[in-house]
Chain A
Amino acid sequence: MRRKSTALVVATMVAATACSGGSGGGSGEIAAPPSDPAKVSGEITVLTNRSDQLADGTLKKYAEEFGKVYPGVKVKFEGLTDYEGETKIRMNTENYGDVLLIPNSLSRKQYPTFFAPLGKAGDLSAKFDYTDHATVDGQVYGLANIGVANGFVYNKAVWAKAGITDWPATPAQFVADLEKIRAKTAAVPYYTNYKDGWPLTNWTNAIGSPTCDPGSYDSLARTAEPWSRGSDLHTIDKLLYTVVDEKLTESDPTTTNWEDSKAQMGTGKIASMWLGSWAIGQIRAAAEAAGKDPDDIGFMPFPARKHGKFCSVLRPDYQYAVNVHSDKKTAARAWIDWYITKSGQAAAEGSISSVKGAPLPDTLKPFSDNDVTLIPQHQKNVTEVNAVDKASEIGITVQDYRQKLVDVARGAADGDMDSYFDELNGKWSEAQQTLGG
């Protein structure tokens, strides 16, 4: 009843504004890039999570550059500080901007309900990376601007002081190195960021690194017990467990602070943290602000080698999509394409551009120098993996189960590593059976 009346209000609003818009948006219509920039016109609204760039005028500058190529299009930004929360609520209406970032919490099969298709998977994947992360039934619904590699951000000076020069090549060696750091320096060898939580979720992005298998995440859909010995999740979570169990982490994980931890790593009070490559720039800036050498901040892959080579998984950052209800789809698509391929935003921030063949940024020079294999993460069964994950209430992409892992490791919760992994395995296979049957 109430739903119907809101829909009515929204429909009236859309009808009222549609007069000024031109071609009305029916679902299924492809938001194709314009053939002639001069013919595109209209005002588009872009929702963004970068309220910092909105405040310092960076986005406005991009919009002006864009205006030179597309004189008829006016770009308006809306910055949302709680992007995930606010967007998800707004998506219950039709009024969620023309261009937006696909919220992480949205499941893949819902993309066609909310976004206009951008083109066929075969065509777009030749030009852009990560298109498979937003492909439903052969149509691509979102394009990422940048990709993220995963690894340990570490303070080279601290590691060198402990006498370590080479990257550890096995989890055991990594733990031994952290022990050296604890013995020889005053730094916290590893900082969990348990309180803020999301840095713990990032460990999930290591899936694929230990076995160097792009299909590792996909295979979770069919694996009955993902936490059994030899699997990626087992290797990854065992490493985290051991590091905490050996007391190589901060003394009180429950009062950690992400903003603070950047400065602490910059000044050498923290030796290492598992993060995405996007964090390197921020921590370098923190080091510089504290009067230290930003070049001390390095990046190393997960301590495991396959055929003598390290592996790091590349994942897309937020993907840009066009609102299926937008009546300026062409202009919206023009902005997305221009922003990803022409704006130079990725290079300016030291991020990995999603345009195929773009060179790696400076921040990842150690990866290219040491011949680290960058592998994608296949996305064929992601919907199934997510369904099992949600049904099991484990949440491999949320922090709770790893917070519990840290609690078990530091003796704050009952059980040990094996009993906890057994519990997780049990929940996973039970959910799989429920969904399958």
Chain B
Amino acid sequence: MTAVQKTRPGADTAGRRGAPPPEPAPAGPSPGRQHGRRRRRTAAVTPWLFLAAPLALLLMFTYLPVADMIGYGFTDWDGTSPDRSYVGADNYTDLATRPQLFEVFLVSGFYLAASFVQIAVALYFATVLSFGTRLRNLFKGLLFFPYLVNGVAVGFVFLYFFQPDGTLDTLLRLVGVEGEHLWLGDPDLANPSLAGVSVWRFTGLNMVLFLGAIQSIPPHLYEAAQLDGANRWQQFRHIIAPGIKPVISLSFILAVSGSLAVFEIPYIMTGGANGTETFVIQTVKLAFQFDKVGLASASAVVLLVLILLITWIQRRLVPEERVELT
């Protein structure tokens, strides 16, 4: 969300607070004035006091570890030994000379394709639920629920779901599709199955984002459109879609970076076996199975740079624009 709602008001206040008092103080300050200045000084500190807690957490749990990680990337640390030596850019040369390490990005393609499906489905449900559907709050809850379930639990539930002759096969039999499928065992099905789980899990989140944006569209626009004889599709096409464009483009950015960094679901369900290994799983294995924390840190840095780069390109292609709805 932060990318969309540029923190304009905050920046404004900070600017004003930082500026010196507008009028020069005359000689021989009265006690009243001094009191006022002190109050103004306290007021200048207040926002920073509020910011202190989140900033401290952000520094401690995001920027410091990242800085450490970048540091490890230049060492040959094995993860436990108390000493490590500086190896310069060796880890990066190692990565660059082993293209097979980047083949796993092909797996990300499945998740990227799935995230388009996910955005489409979420957009559909968000639109349908934004019109006065009966039991809409119940459906909202049902659709959002998968996102609240712990990833490990999701993994285990879907292991049973995908077992041969398990839940999915039984369901398919009800609609006349016979036979046992190796949903995770068949290498051609394994990645689509896992990507499907990810769609199931994250559609609700996308839907809630879209729903929130849709609700900020003034209702009189629909009324006017209805008076002009616009049907539901036309309302979606010409009011909703342009109205929530920033959120949709944000979703695509998140989808791309998310599919490059898939980890949880494949790690729990297959551990990266059977051709489902992603770049992050590979990195974790380098660090904790083969004790190459230095190399793993370097590849994490590469992933970070890659995601930043792709996001930047995306922003250049689809620049952010303010949408005025009145």
Q: Which residues of A contact B (CB under 8 A)?
A: 2, 88, 91-92, 105-107, 110, 113, 194-195, 197, 251-255, 257, 390-391, 393, 395, 398-400, 403-404, 407, 410, 412-413
Tell me which of B272, B275, B292 contacts A413 (CB under 8 A).
B275
| Cβ-closest chain A residue relative to B291 | A390
Query: Residues of B at under 8 Å CB distance from A?
Result: 64, 68, 78-82, 159, 162-164, 166, 180, 182, 184-187, 190, 270-275, 285-286, 288-292
Known contacts: A254-B274, A412-B187. The answer to whether A400 contacts B80 by CB under 8 A is no
B288 lies within 8 A of A105 (CB):
yes
Contact residue among B64, B186, B187, B190 (Cβ-Cβ distance under 8 Å from A2): B64
Query: Cβ of B78: which chain A residues have Cβ within 8 Å of it?
Result: 107
User: Can you sample 6 A-B contacts with CB below 8 Å?
Assistant: A105-B291, A110-B80, A253-B185, A391-B290, A407-B275, A413-B275
State the CA gap A257–B68 with chains docked (Å).
Answer: 38
Bound complex: CA A410 to CA B274 (Å): 11
**Smallest Cβ distance from B283 to chain A, in angstroms?**
12
| A254 & B185 in contact (Cβ 8 Å cutoff) | yes
Contact B80 A252 (CB under 8 A): no
Majority SS at the chain A contact face: loop
A253 neighbours in B (Cβ, 8 Å): 185
Known interface pairs A251-B180, A254-B185. Does A194 touch B273 (Cβ–Cβ under 8 Å)? Answer: yes
Beyond A255-B164, A393-B290, whether A407 also contacts B187 by CB under 8 A is yes
Q: Which residue of B lies closest to A84 (CB)?
A: B288
Given A254-B182, A254-B190, A254-B274: A395 in contact with B80 (beta carbons within 8 A): no
Cα–Cα distance between A197 and B163 once the two chains are bound (Å): 17
Q: List 18 additional A-B contacts (Cβ < 8 Å) besides A91-B80, A390-B292.
A: A107-B291, A110-B80, A195-B270, A195-B273, A251-B164, A251-B180, A252-B164, A254-B190, A254-B274, A255-B162, A255-B185, A390-B291, A393-B290, A400-B271, A403-B274, A407-B275, A410-B185, A412-B185
With A and B bound together, what is the CA distance between A419 and B165 in angstroms? 33
**Do A113 and B163 touch (CB < 8 A)?**
no
Using CB atoms, name the residue of chain A closest to B82. A113
Across the interface, A412 reaches (CB within 8 A) one of B159, B164, B186, B292, namely B186
Contact A254 B290 (CB under 8 A): no
Nearest B residue to A389 by beta-carbon distance? B290
> B45: shortest Cβ distance to chain A, in Å?
26
Q: Which 10 A-B pairs have the closest CB atoms?
A: A254-B184, A252-B185, A403-B273, A412-B187, A255-B163, A254-B185, A252-B164, A252-B182, A390-B290, A398-B289
A407→B164 contact, CB < 8 A: no
Cβ–Cβ < 8 Å partners of A107 in chain B: 78, 80, 291
Nearest B-chain residue to A2, judged by Cβ: B64
Q: A255-B164, A407-B187, A413-B187 are in contact. Are A110 and B289 (CB under 8 A)?
A: no
Q: Which residues of A contact B271 (CB under 8 A)?
A: 195, 197, 399-400, 403
**Smallest Cβ-Cβ distance to A403: which chain B residue:** B273
Q: Which residue on chain B has the smallest CB distance to residue A257?
A: B159
Task: Using known A-B contacts A106-B80, A110-B81, A255-B162, determine if residue A412 contacts B274 with beta carbons closer than 8 Å.
Answer: yes
CA A119 – CA B191 in complex, angstroms? 53
Which of B182, B185, B285 has a CB less than 8 Å from the CB of A400? Answer: B285
Complex CA–CA separation, A1 to B196 (angstroms): 44
Chain B residues in 8 Å Cβ range of A404: 273
Least CB distance from A19 to B in Å reads 26
- Bound form: Cα–Cα A335–B290 in Å: 34
Contacts of A400 in B (CB 8 A): 271-273, 285, 289
Q: List residues of chain B with CB within 8 A of the CB of A403.
A: 271, 273-274
Query: Complex: how many Å from CA A251 to CA B64?
Result: 48
**Separation of A403 and B190 alpha carbons in the complex (Å):** 15
Contact status B274-A407, CB under 8 Å: yes
Q: Which residues of B contact A398 (CB under 8 A)?
A: 289
Residue ID in chain B nearest A407 by CB atoms: B274
The answer to whether B81 and A113 have CB atoms under 8 Å apart is yes
Cα-based distance from A393 to B286 in the complex (angstroms): 8
By CB atoms of chain A within 10 A, which of B64, B182, B285 has the most? B182
Partner of A254 from the list B64, B270, B288, B292 (CB cut-off 8 Å) is: B270
Is there contact, CB below 8 Å, between B182 and A395? no
- A252 and B184 within 8 A (CB): yes
Interface centre among B166, B180, B291 (most CB of A within 10 A): B291
Which chain B residues lie closer than 8 Å to A251 at the CB level? 164, 180, 182, 185
Chain B residue with Cβ nearest A109? B81
Which residues of chain A are within 8 angstroms of B288 by Cβ–Cβ distance? 105
**Whose C-beta in chain B lies nearest to the C-beta of A255?**
B163
What are the residues of chain B within 8 A of A194 when measuring CB–CB? 273
- Which residues of chain A are near B270, meaning CB under 8 Å? 195, 254
B contact residues around A195 at 8 Å (CB): 159, 270-271, 273
The distance from the CB of A203 to the nearest CB of chain B, in whole angstroms, is 16
Instruction: Select the residue from B68, B187, B190, B273 with max chain A CB neighbours within 10 A.
Output: B273
Assembled-state Cα–Cα distance A395/B286 (Å): 10
Instruction: Choose one: A2, A91, A254, A393; the contact of B273 (CB below 8 Å).
Output: A254
State in angstroms the CA–CA spacing of A251 and B181 once bound together: 10
Q: State whether A395 touches B289 (Cβ < 8 A).
A: yes
In the complex formed, the residue of B with least CB distance to A88 is B80
- Cα A403 to Cα B64 with chains together (Å): 37
Q: Is the CB of B290 within 8 A of A395?
A: yes
Q: Are A2 and B184 in contact (CB under 8 A)?
A: no
Complex Cα distance, B166 from A21, in Å, reads 58
Residues in B whose Cβ lies below 8 Å from that of A395 = 289-290
Q: Which residues of A contact B180 (CB under 8 A)?
A: 251
Q: Give complex CA distance A289, B185 in Å.
A: 30
CB distance from A93 to the nearest CB of B (A): 12
